[in-house]
A and B are shown apart, each in its own frame.
Chain A
Amino acid sequence: MHGSSSETALIGRDGVASARRRVLAPQVLFPAVAVLIGVALVASPFVATVARSVLAGPEGELALSLHNFVALFKDDRFHRALGVTAITGLAATVLSCFFGLALAWIVARTDTPGRSWFDTLNLVPFFLSPFVGAVSWTYLAAPHAGLLNNIVSRYLSGPSDFFNIFSVGGVIWVLALFYTPYVYLFLIGPMRRMDPALEDAARVHGAGFLLTMRHVTAPLMLPALLSGALVVFVTSAGLFDVPLALASSRGIPTVPTTVYSLVQYPSDYGRAAAIGVLVMAVTVCFALAQRAYLSRRSYATVTGKGYRPRTVQLGRWRYAALALELVYVTAGVILPMIALVFVSLSSLWTGWPTFAYLTLGNFDQVLFYNDLTRRALKNSLIVAVLGATIGVVLATLQSYYLQRGRSRMRTLMDSVLSLPLGIPGIILGLGFLILLIRTPLYTTLWIILIAYVARFLPLATRGISAMLLAIGGELEESARASGASWAQTLRLIILPLIKPALVAAWLMLFVIFIRELGATILLYAQGTETLSVAMVILGEQNFGHVAALAMVQTLMLVVAFMLFRLTRSSILES
């Protein structure tokens, strides 16, 4: 029945070798290694933080104790910090949900003039640095010195401290402006893809416009809105940049800035680590809640493709919609940019543009003479280019594991790998500081690069993973069946097909790494300052230099943003 036994035995022996090869086959090995690196990048700062949080006592005689947590709970200032962080996070979430929902609806579903322009403009703050945004708003709304306050006092005869950006309200305002695009991004897709028949059915069966909105449109958008709100709350509450610029100097404590000051001399790593553990616990709880919520809801009704949603004719109300758009774009992009341009071109900033002070000297200084800023430029470019490249390679391999792997651990790994998404940069930075402070990596750019990749890798993995899912397995299996090895399939089929996602992920990581401050502030040393760190250092000395440096950084981000728009439109075309 079968071939002769000797022949079978011969093939059998040959086969043992090939079976061994198969265990270490590249399509299994490389993705698995990338996932292990990802897990190590999540787990090591996590473990280090937890371990350090239960050690207390004077340096050199640390002992196991819960003292750090007890001290924290008794600390009134920490209670205040918690309160401020909760309030700013919540209020910023509510405000950005309002803006994000309204703007997404205006762009996707109404006949408001200039919609396609606003579709791009609404996203600009997403790419700008919130630290630069906060600094620019101090030029606009610092009491007695801000441009807007000067306008109020000169032309409206109001008080010159009408606006006070150095306040809880100021933090909320700037956070809301910068997180609105997150909500917008979460909602614009579902709004565009919604099957208009769902709304038509409500209208046909007797519901008016408002009833339809309330009973059909809003419930369908709710999952996306809540997801967006959750992300905004967790990330805005953990953001270090804005409170540093607007709250610290006025003695308003927040959780991220408290961690920062605890690490400054005289440092208390134990208590900082205790805060880190609490923040991580909260983040994990939020992630679990979101997962549970999303698994209960089905998006099926809004993910159908190829629909053209009905455009609502707003009539006279389109001018109200236009006004709202203009308010957001003015506050989020135009005003801060104007302020930045004025300050960067002034040798002396008095809160009012003065022709006599006009100069290019600030740019001259930061680009050609100031050692700190020139070093920072170089460091930021190195970290951003290298980090984005390493990140995209790791993310591609991880995505392959998550989408194509045969392992039973995939779902678990998906959760583990996306954990850093919600963890504030400064907390992750603290973890790596505790972990690596006694190694030669500390004081090099590598520690910053490792922290960046650990914190933001999941963003790249998500994008690439989604694209890999969309291209389907048969395109790659047909290459294998045609005789291509995995490496050939990767090079000739998979990578060309997911190229738009790779480029988009690279640009996104580049943008984030160029501007990141929270993950850097605890890890930089003399010689490894980045652009944002240099701005913090200079902030105490020279407004003009900070503004010029911020302009240079913003220019880099805008170029990256324009390239990103190009790739995004090419994704949409194909």
Chain B
Amino acid sequence: MITHDASGRSGASAFVEVTALRKSFDGTMALQGVSFDVALGTTVSLLGPSGCGKTTMLRSIAGLETPNAGRIRIGDTVVFDSEGRVNLSPETRQVGMVFQSYAVWPHMTVAENVGFPLKIRRVAASEIASRVADVLALVGLAGLGGRPATNLSGGQQQRVALARAIVHEPRLVLFDEPLSNLDAKLRDQMRTELKLLQSRLGFTAIYVTHDQAEALALSDNVVVMNHGLIEGMAPPRELFAHPTTPFVANFLGFDNMFEGKVAWVGAAGNGGAKPASGDGAALPIGVTVGKDVTLRCFWRGGAAPSGDEPVILAFRSERVTLGPAGGQNNADTDCFDGSVEACVYVGTYQDYLIQAGPIRVRAVGPGDSTFGQGERVTVSIRPDDCRVFSRKKFPEWRGLGER
């Protein structure tokens, strides 16, 4: 596994290297000094809410936006360097790009659209024809080359845009929320196809999305961005299991987050709960949330917390188990009681809102669970499913916001 420092820089030799990139629009900072690397043949996702700067980042790499400061290298070419006054125009950067709106040219046929990058590079017409046919077959549009581009469904236009971005075998393919205009079913299908294509062709890619599932599914590394800064960068599994900041945790689905205080530190109070295997550095602690609920969890990295230190405790609603009232703690699980505030039936599962003293817990129950509104229940959560963040380290975190 590649290790990362806080700036999101990987140890391996990088194919794309972005260093301290800054960009402001009319006084608002879109990028506040962003650095990250992409290794050859891998895909990095830029994930974040709208307005976080991810699209600006991508457009800066493509040369469609001129940053105020920083440096971008692709392969052995520095394409932008504010100090060296380098700023290559988009057409000289040798990339392929898939746009959010697809940007399929309406005055051209499918084949003309896809063949455009080759035509610009003065490839012979016969070779253009055969390469376009090949790539159209690859994206599942075999035989549609003669169609007018306007005469296509959204999914087909998406494939044309994809074919156009890879037909000239660029060293880097940029994706700007390519699936966000498709309906949910088609989006899932295209996601799988994209993954297949990627492993078959092995291109290096940067993929911008606000959809965590897309980012996790398609990339070797995920960069989470917020307010023009990198909040965290890690391979998907690592990021999903151990988000590095409260923002990342929230964005990746930790939908229960509570202010709390460290109640105790060390193995003494732990009662036998174990962290995930091989995580020897994890220090057992207890965190009190609400009035009198104390949950066990593991402190990872950094100096051990002091007693009473303010922290943020987070866990996912899917990891919560509901049972009849009066459940007791055991070695693996912590329990507390509450009453059902609301219950929403969604078919395969049910969303519950449980009020336990001052805290309100989101929980997911199976579709056939039958807890009714007002009923007393026991909320169970495993210590290893809880994440804890020092309040001192993230003083500006404002809790669960709408996203």
Interface residues of A (CB under 8 A from B): 1-3, 7-8, 11-16, 18-19, 22, 25, 472, 474-475, 477-486, 488, 492-493, 496-497, 574
Shortest CB distance A194–B (Å): 27
Q: A11-B86, A481-B90, A481-B95 are in contact. List 11 more A-B contacts (CB 8 A).
A: A8-B84, A16-B85, A16-B86, A22-B89, A477-B97, A478-B97, A481-B174, A482-B116, A485-B91, A493-B105, A497-B106
Chain B residues near A492 (CB, 8 Å)? Answer: 116
Could you tell me if B84 and A482 are in contact, using CB atoms closer than 8 angstroms? no
Could you tell me if B63 and A15 are in contact, using CB atoms closer than 8 angstroms? no
Cβ-neighbour of B87 out of A15, A479, A486 (below 8 A): A15
Could you tell me if A482 and B86 are in contact, using CB atoms closer than 8 angstroms? no
Question: Can you report 28 A-B residue pairs in the complex whose CB atoms are below 8 A from each other?
Answer: A2-B73, A3-B73, A3-B76, A8-B78, A15-B84, A16-B85, A18-B87, A19-B86, A22-B89, A474-B101, A474-B103, A477-B90, A477-B99, A478-B164, A480-B90, A480-B91, A481-B64, A481-B97, A481-B165, A482-B116, A482-B165, A483-B121, A484-B116, A486-B89, A488-B91, A492-B116, A497-B107, A574-B106
Chain A residues near B97 (CB, 8 Å)? Answer: 477-478, 481-482
Cβ-neighbour of A475 out of B19, B64, B78, B105 (below 8 A): B105
Cβ-neighbour of B19 out of A2, A11, A479 (below 8 A): A2
| A2-B73, A480-B90 given; A11·B101 CB < 8 A | no
Could you tell me if A11 and B78 are in contact, using CB atoms closer than 8 angstroms? yes
Could you tell me if A11 and B77 are in contact, using CB atoms closer than 8 angstroms? yes
State whether the Cβ of B17 lies closer than 8 Å to any Cβ in chain A.
Answer: yes
Chain A residues near B96 (CB, 8 Å)? Answer: 481-482
Chain A residues near B117 (CB, 8 Å)? Answer: 482-483
Residue of B nearest to A25 (CB): B89
Per-residue A-contact encoding for B111-144, CB less than 8 Å = 1, 0 else: 0000011001100000000000000000000000
Could you tell me if A483 and B64 are in contact, using CB atoms closer than 8 angstroms? no
State whether the Cβ of B81 lies closer than 8 Å to any Cβ in chain A.
Answer: yes
Cβ-neighbour of B64 out of A14, A16, A480, A496 (below 8 A): A480
A357 to B249 Cα, complex, angstroms: 95
Could you tell me if B89 and A19 are in contact, using CB atoms closer than 8 angstroms? no
Shortest CB distance B25–A (Å): 10
A492 to B91 Cα, complex, angstroms: 14
Could you tell me if A18 and B88 are in contact, using CB atoms closer than 8 angstroms? yes
State whether the Cβ of B225 lies closer than 8 Å to any Cβ in chain A.
Answer: no
A483 to B84 Cα, complex, angstroms: 23
Residue of A nearest to B88 (CB): A18
A237 to B80 Cα, complex, angstroms: 56
The 4 closest A-B pairs by CB, nearest first: A15-B86, A12-B84, A480-B90, A474-B103
State whether the Cβ of B369 lies closer than 8 Å to any Cβ in chain A.
Answer: no
Chain B residues near A479 (CB, 8 Å)? Answer: 105, 116
Chain B residues near A493 (CB, 8 Å)? Answer: 105
Could you tell me if A18 and B86 are in contact, using CB atoms closer than 8 angstroms? yes
Residue of B nearest to A485 (CB): B91
Chain A residues near B316 (CB, 8 Å)? Answer: none
Could you tell me if A472 and B84 are in contact, using CB atoms closer than 8 angstroms? no
A3 to B63 Cα, complex, angstroms: 21
State whether the Cβ of B9 lies closer than 8 Å to any Cβ in chain A.
Answer: yes
Could you tell me if B168 and A483 are in contact, using CB atoms closer than 8 angstroms? yes
A134 to B89 Cα, complex, angstroms: 57
A474 to B100 Cα, complex, angstroms: 9
Chain B residues near A488 (CB, 8 Å)? Answer: 91, 120
Chain B residues near A496 (CB, 8 Å)? Answer: 107
Chain B residues near A481 (CB, 8 Å)? Answer: 62-64, 90-91, 93, 95-97, 165, 174
| A12-B84, A497-B107 given; A482·B168 CB < 8 A | yes
| A1-B9, A15-B81, A483-B168 given; A478·B87 CB < 8 A | no
State whether the Cβ of B192 lies closer than 8 Å to any Cβ in chain A.
Answer: no
Chain A residues near B100 (CB, 8 Å)? Answer: 474
Chain A residues near B73 (CB, 8 Å)? Answer: 2-3
Chain B residues near A25 (CB, 8 Å)? Answer: 89
Chain B residues near A14 (CB, 8 Å)? Answer: 86
